[in-house]
Structure 1
Amino acid sequence: MSKLKDKTILITGANGGFGRELTKQLLEKGANVILTDLKAPLAESDFYLYRKWDMNFKNGSNSKNAGKILGTFSGDLQTQKGCKEVYQNTLKISSRGVDVLINNAGLAFKGGLLDVPDKNWNLILDVNLYAPIHLSRLFVPAMLERKQGQIVNLSSVAGQVAPGELIYYSISKFGIRAMGEAMDADLRKRGIAVTNIYPFFADTGILKSQQFGKQQEVPLSIVDSPVAVVKAIVRGMEKRKLHVFPGIKSKAISFFNRMTPNIVHKVTSLSDRF
């Protein structure tokens, strides 16, 4: 039996590629989920369990012991006020709060230090970094009272190595990595685990993010499957790991960055020229 069965889990950014796949796989584990995004996600379990958004999906889901979607609502994580509204709407659905908060919502704009307009790089920090901080501060007190809980943060390999053309995205992902490590050092001994995730490029909507400065596409031949990434995330959640590196590319980048950081930095700098 999964350790996630009957857990109440809030997923932000639930309409995205990772969000939908997280919903599917967590429902299959018997978890009960609450979903939020800028547009209220669909509330029908079958939409996720049978991946009705994915025309290539071959039905193999078993919904017999699946969890439930407790509720969905629209939420804007760009401001502290919006984060508080997400918290309040969650409590309307689950008055005790949640067992697991998944800080999945995120966005990116490609460009160097001087390329990305102020409103865009500020938006990256507001959604990718400040929103997880605000939400964690809101949901953690109830977890502390129960002496159990988990925070899951979607960082990135860009939170391990910083490409020059993803400077603001990397700042946000390095920040959430630091936040997760510090929170775990403080909270795990009090029953609350923090799990940081470091995916490589995956086949999600973020690959189509707006670009500023030099235009450059990520080759689809090197991107990871959201299905495989989320499987690794769910395994990491069940084991309450601090760091999860989903896929061989994520693991390799982390390894070589620890062993030969200067070489990895040079390779990253060269890749920005093409």
Structure 2
Amino acid sequence: MTNLQKAVILITGASGGFGQELTRQLLEAGSRLILTDINEAVLRQRVAAIQNEVKTGEVLACLASDLADVQGCETLYHQVKALDIPIDILINNAGVGLFGRMDEIPRQRWEYLMQVNLMTPMRLSALFVPDMIEHQKGHIVNISSLAGWCAIAGMAHYSASKFGLRGFSEGLFNEVKDYNVKVTAVYPFFSRTPILQSERFGTLAKTYQGLPEHMITDPADVMRATIQGIVKNQLHVFPDPTANRLHLLQRYFPQLVYWINNRMGRSMKHG
């Protein structure tokens, strides 16, 4: 079991929908948080609103960081090291989305997505894992997506990043388990966060109507299940019923998932 009380937890993408819920719920659990996002002013504003309601836990620092390149990741690592407080848990939550046919999305946009969604968790893990191995204690949490198990039209790049993060998480798990370092990968379905308003491009964007409201999950519920998975040291966490069902179908009845993907595609076109 991973103990959250007094645990020092670094959360990337802390201003986003999942990031705010992680902040709120981990403060309620008594954790000590280091929070980072690209805009420090927005981050501090949102953290202050949460702390007006939640009086437990502690925010150790709010750090501005652009994690889309090597330098940004290294700068964050050195900022955290300067606090002289060992990290117990790293939650790689920062992520971006795109929607559109693969060849109609500008190259710089999908390359940026790959940097943030896949390379950043890999870089930060490479920086923080040696410290965890030295202390024989630690936990890496990667927020992937159900898109890391099955891909729908318009999300080829996003799914590639999340499939990659799933593979990285499994490999990392096997490499660090002998050092008492845990790894958890989380695969939520579409949730009510700003990523639903991601940039859209080209042919598919013209007919995109979004998901039916009843299919979209509540980020508070998703992060509550995620935190329970972290506490239980689960490698794979499917934090909502849709994610849990669809990943099982993908594993055992992939042809049925193809049919569901087609139905979802039609639903997203016609509302």
| TM-score, structure 1 normalization | 0.91
Cα 1:229–1:31, aligned 2, differ >3 Å: closer, same or farther? same
2:241 maps to 1:253: no
Mapping 1:140-155, distance limit 5 Å: 140-155=129-144
Name 1:115's counterpart in structure 2.
Answer: 104
Q: CA deviation at 1:145?
A: 0.5
Q: Give unmatched runs, 5+ long, in structure 2.
A: none
Name 1:79's counterpart in structure 2.
Answer: 69
Name 1:227's counterpart in structure 2.
Answer: 220
* 2: CA distance, partners of 1:221 / 1:44: 27
Q: Give unmatched runs, 5+ long, in structure 1.
A: 52-60
Name 2:59's counterpart in structure 1.
Answer: 69
Q: Do 2:152 and 2:261's aligned partners in 1 also have CA atoms closer than 8 Å?
A: yes
Amino acid at match of 1:203: R
Q: Do 1:100 and 1:152's aligned partners in 2 also have CA atoms closer than 8 Å?
A: yes
Mapping 1:131-142, distance limit 5 Å: 131-142=120-131
* 2: CA distance, partners of 1:32 / 1:44: 17
* 2: CA distance, partners of 1:3 / 1:43: 28
Q: What's the CA shift string for 1:45-99, capped at 9, x where partnerless?
A: 6522456xxxxxxxxx5x3xx2100001110011011110111111122x24311
Q: What's the CA shift string for 1:189-228, capped at 9, x where partnerless?
A: 2111100000000000000001012221223221000100
Q: CA deviation at 1:243?
A: 0.6
Q: CA deviation at 1:129?
A: 0.2
Name 1:54's counterpart in structure 2.
Answer: none
More helix by share: 2
* 2: CA distance, partners of 1:237 / 1:112: 35
Equivalent position SS for 2:231 = helix
RMSD, aligned CA? 1.7
Q: Do 1:45 and 1:68's aligned partners in 2 also have CA atoms closer than 8 Å?
A: no
Equivalent position SS for 1:163 = coil
Q: Do 2:2 and 2:233's aligned partners in 1 also have CA atoms closer than 8 Å?
A: no
Q: Do 1:28 and 1:49's aligned partners in 2 also have CA atoms closer than 8 Å?
A: no
Q: Do 2:2 and 2:230's aligned partners in 1 also have CA atoms closer than 8 Å?
A: no
Equivalent of 2:189, from 177, 193, 200? 200
Name 1:127's counterpart in structure 2.
Answer: 116
Q: Do 1:38 and 1:74's aligned partners in 2 also have CA atoms closer than 8 Å?
A: yes
Name 1:24's counterpart in structure 2.
Answer: 24
| TM-score, structure 2 normalization | 0.92
* 2: CA distance, partners of 1:130 / 1:153: 12
Matched residue pairs, number?
Answer: 261
* 1: CA distance, partners of 2:101 / 2:58: 43
Q: CA deviation at 1:183?
A: 0.4
Equivalent position SS for 1:23 = helix
Q: Do 2:2 and 2:232's aligned partners in 1 also have CA atoms closer than 8 Å?
A: no
Equivalent position SS for 1:218 = coil
